Structure 1
Amino acid sequence: MNTGNTDMFEQAYLEQWLKTTRHYLFADRENLVDATETALLESNLESHGAQDRFISRARGSLLRLLKRTARQDQNPLHELERAFYFQISFIARHPDIPKRLLGWLSHGGDGRIRRRIQVVINNYELRLCRIIDQAKHQGLIRADIEPHTAASFFVGIIQSLALRMNADLRQRERLLREAVEVFALYRAGVVSLSK
């Protein structure tokens, strides 16, 4: 993923990630999206039950993404990087999912739905907080970094990228380029100077 120096990325790795992700995004969409996600996106989400099912499926997708990032690698910065890129790839493939969830969260409506979405976000933040805390204990990030604040900022970056995304294919490529730049800035801000 990166060189031995934790604050530098190998350019070849970033180019390969962008190439692989671009192929993944622009491949035949019918083969990539399973029937349940397609039905979910096309269904009427006005009722509380439909919204609740939508949140459950989105939560399940998010948890699967986090489980995929937890590999045998002992470097929590690599795990954090994988979590970020898996999340961005998911947003690029399914831009409507985060937009709907964030829209329901911000536009009032049913309080139960807002609370449920907030619980999903809070659980994601807690998982990120544990990864960041582990990196802090290993001396990979600065000692003055508060893990909860860094995790909240991480989630805010993802939400910001998701809100600017639309279904346009050019927007997807732009999202991927911006994600690489933004994560490099985030990482530079938290990484320990001695590493």
Structure 2
Amino acid sequence: MSRAKHLPTEERRNEAVVAVIELAAAKNPEDITTTAIAGRMKLSQGALFRHFPTKDAIWREVMHWVSDRLLERIDKVAGGEADPVAALEAMFMAHIAFVAEHPGVPRILMGQLQRTGSTPAKQVAHTLTSNYAIRLRRILAAGRSSGTLPAGLDDAAAATLFLGMIQGLVVQALISGDQDQMRADAPRVFAIYRAGLKHDVTKAEERG
């Protein structure tokens, strides 16, 4: 009997997550069936449901996997930068790289957010966005305190714009199917964001 049939529960659950993300890269996530997931894992549906009681439980696990790994990646790169703006840039590029490596992730996320009502996976997605924004606002506030960024910077708006830039690049990549273009555009997009961060809006308003 093959060793693959006796993987620990946690490893099997991670294997299911990877299967879903790989399937989502090639097809509409809403069309992914438990039969397809089990087939990708070379398991029976019954074996799959021993690890996940429902399909929603699979989607929730996928979103937890995405949240944990994305936040871990951006925390690692941001922590290696003393300058707040450099930390933001490192986070931006790391996020784009994560999406490029896992093109099924944004398709899954968008599919979950479009579902009506509250679902377990949708709740995890909202928590991810909230935790990400908290990290951004903390770095932006540190930049204001150190004088690296203007004292009048709107941290909340700057954090929203940061996430919006990533979402825009991701949507364009989904439309074109060109992950390489997304990677190529990211540095130029962040350069404009960096220039905007350093612009003192309050002084500009006073002059106006």
Tell me what 1:24 maps to.
none
Rounded to whole Å, the distance in 1 between the matches of 2:128 and 2:80 is 25
Equivalent residues, number: 159
What's the offset of the Cα at 1:38? 3.4
Q: Which has the higher contact order (CA 8 A, sep 6+)?
A: 1
Question: Which of residues 161, 165, 174 is equivalent to 1:166?
Answer: 174
Match of 2:147, SS state, is coil
TM-score by length of 2: 0.68
Partner of 1:38: 18
Shift of 1:77: 0.9
Q: What do you get for the CA RMSD once the two structures are aligned?
A: 2.5
Structure 1 residues 68 and 155: alpha-carbon distance in aligned structure 2, compared to 1, 3 A threshold: same
Aligned partner of 2:196 in structure 1 is 189
Q: Contact between 2:66 and 2:105, CA under 8 Å: does it hold in 1?
A: yes
Name the residue aligned to 1:175. 182
| Conservation of the 8 A alpha-carbon contact between 1:165 and 1:175 | yes
Compute the TM-score of the two structures, normalised by the length of structure 1.
0.72
The one-letter amino acid paired with 1:41 is I
Question: Deviation of residue 52 (structure 1)?
Answer: 0.4
Instruction: List gaps (5 residues or longer) in structure 2.
Output: 1-13, 24-31, 35-54, 201-208
Cα distance in 1 for residues equivalent to 2:98 and 2:175: 13
Asked if the contact 2:60/2:120 (under 8 Å) is kept, the reply is no
> Residue in 2 aligned with 1:136?
144
Instruction: Indicate the structure (1 or 2) with the bigger Cα radius of gyration.
Output: 2
Q: CA deviation at 1:144?
A: 2.1
Q: Which moved more, 1:97-106 or 1:74-83?
A: 97-106
CA distance in 2, matches of 1:38, 1:168: 24
**Pair 186,40 (structure 1): closer, same or farther in 2 beyond 3 Å:** same
Percent identity for Structure 1 against Structure 2: 26
* 2:204 aligned residue: none
Deviation at 1:167, TM superposition (A): 9.3
Q: Unaligned 5+ residue runs, structure 1? A: 1-33
Distance 1:36 1:83, change over 3 A: farther
